[in-house]
């Protein structure tokens, strides 16, 4: 997700629906079901269709659900039991990774093996790369093939809900436009189709551009996002704040939205995803980034986020317990300075928590101790994520929990 020097626009990016997949027509910059084909020419339409058919098989013609409104379900908090974890493997050096591709592949593989210690992991490999990916991730990770651009299913994969009975899954399918048309997304926008078909769950389209890392949810009526990201006109330019809130409340079946003003300073990739500045540690309990250095460019921004949370309550009327993460390290990858690394970008499981680390001992040790204090009964596993941070994300960004049912 590293910021490219010149995002595709105008004559450099055309719009087309993926063949073989039913897509409602849409127009305008915010049209969620149109997939912009990259100027890099990742795949031809015929190759995309063939790869999709090979993965989807008989399910390829399954019609979209007519609506997601009126369906009774909950998007659970991340601490709810998981059936497994969805991931995707980076494969294309041309998708901004360049000579850093082997390093990020190693990090993604390390995260997958770490999560697989606690729950099943399903790794999506781009068509034709499954054998290579299996070699990288090892036997504890299940590898499937489907056309993808990159490795961020938190943002472009389905967001899973559970019906009232607790027995059935569904996958919310938001439109994805490459974090504001910054990056290739012609294949990633269709990832929910392949994943939901693979899992045999209904896919419910949501008529807006959105990334899962832009929202926190507790499964008890509360959702939290940042104005900086959700109101950026590069996502839904024709929607007002009130309309965006209403759509998200409806999609998540929530009753209260809390708007934080800011994401992390310098986050030009996601434009302020909330999972880089905060994370739920449990009901009404948040881990928030707040540097101890008052001169840090994040200090004033994240202090304002803290003020909003201290002044508010969640959907159940509870005041928030706030734990501060004071470590916000910066470092270099090659010659590039990374200023958006975040320890709040972790992935929780029932018995463990996988946390991004920097290989800076003093910072990592302090941060992991904070996480251990939040989850005293769980094993805290740190995984180096320096290249992922260079790319704009971390452990949470490359994982998506699949809730347990039954």
Residue 22 has pLDDT above 90, yes or no: no
Q: Check 85, 151, 196, 397 and give the catalytic one.
A: 397
Beta strands in 251-378 (DSSP E): 256-260, 278-282, 285-289, 321-325, 331-333, 336-338, 347-348, 352-357
**How much is the pLDDT for 387?**
98
**How much is the pLDDT for 39?**
22
Q: Reply yes or no on whether 397 is catalytic.
A: yes
Let me know: does 223 contact 257? Beta carbons within 8 Å.
Answer: yes
Q: Give the C-alpha separation, 392 to 276, whole Å.
A: 9
126 or 13, higher pLDDT: 126
| Range from 11-15, 133-137, 336-340 carrying the lowest mean pLDDT | 11-15
Q: Name the nearest CA neighbour of 43 among 61, 20, 27, 25.
A: 20
> What would the mean pLDDT of 119-144 be, rounded to a whole number?
98
257-283 confidence digits (pLDDT tens): 999 999 999 999 999 999 999 999 999
Let me know: does 232 contact 310? Beta carbons within 8 Å.
Answer: no
**How much is the pLDDT for 26?**
30
320-360 confidence digits (pLDDT tens): 999 999 999 999 999 999 999 999 999 999 999 999 999 99
Of all residues in the chain, the percent with pLDDT exceeding 70 is 83
**How much is the pLDDT for 71?**
59
pTM: 0.84
**How much is the pLDDT for 96?**
87
> What would the mean pLDDT of 117-141 be, rounded to a whole number?
98
248-259 confidence digits (pLDDT tens): 999 999 999 999
Residue 49 has pLDDT above 50, yes or no: no
- Give the CA angle between residues 65, 227, 175 to the nearest 5°: 25
Domains of the chain: 65-399 (3.75.10.10)
Residue 147 has pLDDT above 70, yes or no: yes
User: Beta partners for 39?
Assistant: none
- Across all residues in the chain, what is the average pLDDT? 86
Give me the residue label for tokens 């950026």.
Answer: 232
Residue 173 has pLDDT above 80, yes or no: yes
> What would the mean pLDDT of 161-179 be, rounded to a whole number?
95
**How much is the pLDDT for 72?**
86
Residue 6 has pLDDT above 90, yes or no: no
293-304 confidence digits (pLDDT tens): 999 999 999 999
**How much is the pLDDT for 70?**
59
Distance between alpha carbon 230 and the CA centroid of its chain, in Å?
Answer: 14
| Range from 166-170, 225-229, 329-333 carrying the lowest mean pLDDT | 166-170
**How much is the pLDDT for 38?**
28
Of all residues in the chain, the percent with pLDDT exceeding 90 is 81
**How much is the pLDDT for 95?**
87
């Amino acid at each position: 997700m590293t910021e490219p020097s010149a995002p595709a626009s105008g004559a450099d990016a055309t719009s087309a629906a993926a063949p073989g997949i039913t897509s409602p027509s849409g127009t305008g910059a915010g049209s969620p079901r149109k997939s912009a084909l990259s100027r890099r020419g990742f795949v031809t339409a015929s190759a995309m269709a063939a790869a999709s058919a090979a993965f989807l098989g008989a399910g390829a013609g399954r019609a979209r659900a007519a609506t997601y409104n009126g369906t009774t379900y909950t998007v659970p908090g991340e601490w709810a039991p998981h059936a497994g974890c969805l991931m995707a493997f980076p494969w294309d050096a041309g998708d901004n990774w360049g000579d850093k591709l082997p390093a990020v592949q190693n990090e993604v593989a390390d995260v997958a093996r770490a999560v697989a210690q606690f729950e099943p992991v399903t790794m999506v490999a781009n068509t034709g790369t499954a054998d290579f990916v299996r070699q990288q991730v090892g036997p504890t990770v299940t590898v499937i093939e489907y056309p993808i651009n990159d490795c961020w299913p938190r943002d472009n994969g389905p967001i899973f809900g559970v019906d009232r009975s607790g027995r059935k899954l569904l996958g919310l399918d938001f439109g994805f436009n490459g974090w504001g048309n910054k990056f290739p997304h012609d294949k990633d926008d269709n990832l929910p189709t392949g994943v939901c078909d693979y899992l045999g769950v209904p896919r419910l389209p949501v008529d807006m551009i959105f990334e899962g890392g832009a929202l926190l949810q507790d499964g008890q009526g509360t959702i939290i996002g940042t104005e900086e990201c959700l109101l950026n006109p590069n996502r839904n330019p024709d929607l007002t704040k009130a309309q965006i809130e209403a759509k998200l409340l409806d999609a998540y079946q929530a009753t209260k939205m809390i708007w934080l003003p800011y994401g992390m300073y310098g986050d030009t990739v996601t434009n302020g995803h909330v999972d880089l500045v905060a994370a739920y540690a449990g009901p009404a309990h948040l881990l928030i980034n707040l540097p101890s250095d008052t001169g840090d460019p994040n200090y004033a921004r994240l202090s304002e986020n803290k003020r909003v949370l201290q002044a508010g309550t969640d959907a159940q009327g509870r005041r928030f317990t706030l734990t501060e993460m004071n470590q916000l390290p910066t470092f270099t990858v090659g010659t590039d300075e990374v200023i958006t690394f975040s320890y709040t970008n972790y992935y929780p499981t029932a018995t463990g928590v996988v946390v991004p680390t920097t290989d800076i001992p003093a910072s990592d040790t302090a941060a992991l101790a904070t996480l251990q204090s939040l989850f005293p009964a769980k094993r805290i596993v740190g995984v180096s994520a320096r290249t992922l941070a260079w790319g704009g994300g971390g452990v949470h960004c490359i994982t998506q929990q699949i809730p347990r049912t039954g």
